[in-house]
């Protein structure tokens, strides 16, 4: 309940950056994906920042509670994002052309591993000629980055919780990794829109069906867990 109120308080900070028109089916798909990604990103951002603020006020137990909330969001949301990227890579093979998207920017990340991955992306983007291949490379790089950030974030949170570590550096690093994860989430959304802009109506319908199947499967897995 506390997290919900904090998210509502910060909702006005979220601004749409999408202006180009999509066909009606594509627009619905994009809005659905955007709502899911932005809501999870916002909840994660609030949880991590509240954990840091509460910790600075001296309430380590409450701060750890917020960290655990953030960890749960990451654990449940990462498979959704990776599944979306996998579907995007598959459907990108069906289009004849796709608009180019800029590669990831190294300075947008804090983790050394993600900075290196972004440098590799920029280099490989210059080598690859086909826009479709560049798109699939982008999807691959984002997926690898999300896996790395998710693993590191969950591991660091577990370590802090286990030892009740109060070192400022460790907590700041958790927040920075969370920011990197959200940056990759936004890049996933940019890629999704670029794909929707070139999919035919029939392909968009099939993509929608695949996404519904994915959501149903993930919901079932979460219930089992």
- Averaged over 86-96, what is the pLDDT? 88
Domain ranges of the chain: 25-224
98 versus 177: the higher-pLDDT residue is 177
167: exposed, middle or buried (Cβ count in 10 Å: 0-12, 13-18, 19+) = exposed
- Averaged over 205-224, what is the pLDDT? 69
213 versus 106: the higher-pLDDT residue is 106
Q: In this predicted structure, what is the pLDDT of residue 181?
A: 97
Phi, then psi, of 128 in degrees rounded to 5: -80, 135
Given a cut of 50, is residue 4 above it in pLDDT?
no
Q: Are 157 and 174 in contact (CB under 8 A)?
A: yes
Q: Specify the pTM.
A: 0.84
| Residue pLDDT, tens place only, 25-37 | 888 889 999 999 9
- Averaged over 141-149, what is the pLDDT? 97
């Amino acid at each position: 309940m506390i997290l919900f109120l904090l998210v509502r308080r910060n909702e006005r900070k979220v601004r749409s950056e999408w202006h180009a028109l999509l066909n009606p089916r594509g627009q619905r798909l994009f809005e659905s994906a955007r709502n899911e990604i932005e809501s999870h990103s916002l909840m994660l951002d609030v949880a991590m920042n509240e954990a840091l603020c509460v910790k600075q006020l001296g309430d380590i137990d409450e701060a750890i509670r917020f960290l655990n909330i953030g960890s749960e969001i990451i654990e449940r949301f990462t498979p959704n994002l990776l599944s979306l990227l996998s579907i995007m890579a598959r459907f990108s093979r069906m289009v004849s052309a796709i608009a180019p998207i800029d590669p990831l920017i190294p300075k947008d990340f804090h983790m050394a591993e993600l900075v290196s991955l972004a440098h590799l992306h920029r280099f490989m983007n210059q080598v690859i000629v086909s826009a479709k291949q560049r798109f699939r490379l982008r999807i691959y790089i984002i997926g690898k980055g999300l896996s790395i950030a998710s693993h590191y974030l969950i591991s660091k949170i577990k370590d802090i919780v286990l030892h009740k570590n109060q070192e400022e550096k460790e907590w700041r690093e958790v927040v920075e990794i969370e920011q990197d994860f959200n940056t990759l989430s936004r890049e996933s959304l940019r890629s999704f829109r670029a794909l929707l802009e070139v999919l035919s109506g029939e392909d968009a319908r099939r993509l929608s069906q695949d996404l519904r199947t994915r959501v149903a499967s993930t919901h079932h897995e979460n219930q089992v867990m």
